[in-house]
Chain A
Amino acid sequence: MQAKASDAPKIKCVVWDLDNTIWDGTLSEGDDPILNPHILTALRTLDERGILQSIASRNTFDDAWARIQGFGIGDFFLYPEIHWESKTGSIARIAKNLNISTDSFAFIDDQPFERDEVQFQMPEVRTFDPTDLPELLSHEAFIPRFITDESKLRRLMYQSDAKRNAEERSFKGPGEAFLQTLDMKLEIRPAETRDLQRAEELTQRTHQLNTTGITYSYEDLNTLLLSPKHRLLVASLTDRYGSCGTIGLVLVELDPAGWDIRLLLMSCRVMSRGVGGAIITFLRNEARRHGTRLFADFKETDRNRMMYITYKFSGFEDKSSDNGVQRMEADLSNIPAYPSYLDLDARFGPLS
């Protein structure tokens, strides 16, 4: 087993080989495979922890998939890659489809050649032999810090994403017309204690769409929740495919000289749905209603440029820069309407 330093990111996705890994036997050599005795427990345990799973196997898709369905385990796998091409390419495609970076991937394959090839091309992927099961499940990297109600639903949320993406690709017409068909409801409200685990999980998982790159621990968030000088808001989204869960987090510092958005982050799963702009429009409206100014901090990281553009296109201008943190201020005189495809249920909560 190649265990890496414990500061490596937690595993978010496990990619399985099939022959002599998920099952014993080699399909293309005419074997009638039987399931690896540890597999069902492993699949269920990882699934309940909110760790996503996929397949990279050299096989004929139809034959292999029929076996998988026969074993009743097909629902566990997102974006399976079953063909004769390289497993590195397969892992890259899975990572792209899930929008998760490969440094939180584990790859389990019985063949040293396959593990080495992946390791050579993608040294950040952690590779294991199926004989590492079942002990692997107690490996620290496979145990998320929190298991929230949403962790258990994560696979289902990604499955509805996959369905939604497929429909969007086949949809002919303007992008906005497709969004109209989704019946999206966006809820924004003050966070409560029960939201904090999910909020922490979101700050740890979301790097692309974090305006300052800062991650907050449960304890940090709890302090901010109780602070009369701060307002912590959570955003959640549902659409006709079901709930997308908690997808956004906002931290506003309520200074008498003006409100300051210390953090705005969104799940990358909703990046293309205009949610960030709608949250900012809400904050601008609230600041105007309370007769105060609205500022925002932005700290550039190598991945969060989309959030800078979101601010700039939502009426914010750069005011000053201090130690790499941009201070921006919103124009509150000309606030656009909410997008017509989004049904908003939002409250800022009373000020003390």
Chain B
Amino acid sequence: MNPTSIASKVRSFLTSFVQDDDFEDSDNIFELGLVNSLMAMQLVLFLEKEFQCKFSNEELNLRNFRSVDAIVTLLSSKAA
């Protein structure tokens, strides 16, 4: 799967949760207060289901989920 389509799936999931969809792919969604740890957990479950993968304990780190770009990097590295 290419990075653009990963990014668009992640964005559409996030915008179903947050009140404000005016953010860039590079923005830190936690610092902007868009996502808290509860939603981060739901995001993990969504990504594992959508992309048929399982994150390792090391990968389960907020830094890897802090922005759309970071998530794309994480998923691309798993697919490689």
A interface with B by C-beta (< 8 Å): 174-177, 272-274, 277, 306, 308-310, 312-314, 318, 336, 339
Are B37 and A277 in touch, CB under 8 angstroms?
yes
Are B37 and A176 in touch, CB under 8 angstroms?
no
Give Cα A340 to B1, complex, Å.
37
Beyond A174-B19, A274-B38, A310-B41, 14 additional pairs, beta carbon < 8 A: A174-B17, A174-B18, A175-B16, A274-B36, A277-B38, A306-B41, A309-B60, A312-B60, A312-B61, A313-B40, A313-B62, A314-B37, A318-B57, A339-B38
Are A176 and B41 in touch, CB under 8 angstroms?
no
| Contact residues in B for A318 (Cβ distance below 8 Å) | 57
Are A309 and B44 in touch, CB under 8 angstroms?
yes
| Contact residues in B for A306 (Cβ distance below 8 Å) | 41
| Contact residues in B for A174 (Cβ distance below 8 Å) | 16-19
Given contacts A308-B60, A336-B36, contact A175 B42 (CB under 8 A): yes
Given contacts A308-B57, A336-B36, contact A313 B19 (CB under 8 A): no
A-B contact pairs, 24 of them (CB 8 A): A174-B16, A175-B16, A175-B17, A175-B39, A176-B18, A176-B19, A176-B36, A176-B39, A272-B38, A274-B37, A274-B38, A308-B57, A309-B60, A310-B37, A312-B60, A312-B61, A313-B41, A313-B60, A313-B62, A314-B37, A318-B57, A336-B37, A339-B36, A339-B38
Give the interface centre of A310, A313, A318 by most chain B CB atoms within 10 Å. A313
Residue of A nearest to B38 (CB): A274
| Contact residues in B for A273 (Cβ distance below 8 Å) | 38
Please give the distance in Å from A241's CB to the nearest CB on chain B.
19
Given contacts A306-B41, A339-B36, contact A177 B19 (CB under 8 A): yes
Give Cα A336 to B30, complex, Å.
10
| Contact residues in A for B41 (Cβ distance below 8 Å) | 306, 309-310, 313
Give the interface centre of B17, B37, B39, B42 by most chain A CB atoms within 10 Å. B37
Which 9 pairs of residues, A with B, have the shortest CB-CB distance? Answer: A274-B38, A313-B37, A277-B37, A312-B60, A313-B40, A174-B17, A175-B17, A309-B41, A314-B37
Please give the distance in Å from A49's CB to the nearest CB on chain B.
33
| Contact residues in B for A272 (Cβ distance below 8 Å) | 38, 42
Give Cα A158 to B27, complex, Å.
40
| Contact residues in A for B44 (Cβ distance below 8 Å) | 309
Give Cα A313 to B39, complex, Å.
10
Give Cα A272 to B18, complex, Å.
16
Please give the distance in Å from B64's CB to the nearest CB on chain A.
10
Residues 10-50 of chain B, each 1 if its beta carbon lies under 8 Å from chain A, else 0: 00000011110000000000000000111111101000000
Residue of B nearest to A298 (CB): B57
Residue of A nearest to B16 (CB): A174
Give the interface centre of A277, A306, A312, A318 by most chain B CB atoms within 10 Å. A312
Are A176 and B62 in touch, CB under 8 angstroms?
no
| Contact residues in B for A336 (Cβ distance below 8 Å) | 36-37
| Contact residues in B for A277 (Cβ distance below 8 Å) | 36-38
Give Cα A26 to B8, complex, Å.
55
Give Cα A174 to B39, complex, Å.
11
Give Cα A176 to B15, complex, Å.
12
| Contact residues in B for A312 (Cβ distance below 8 Å) | 57, 60-62
Residue of A nearest to B58 (CB): A318
| Contact residues in B for A176 (Cβ distance below 8 Å) | 17-19, 36, 39
Please give the distance in Å from A332's CB to the nearest CB on chain B.
16
Please give the distance in Å from B72's CB to the nearest CB on chain A.
19
Please give the distance in Å from B5's CB to the nearest CB on chain A.
23
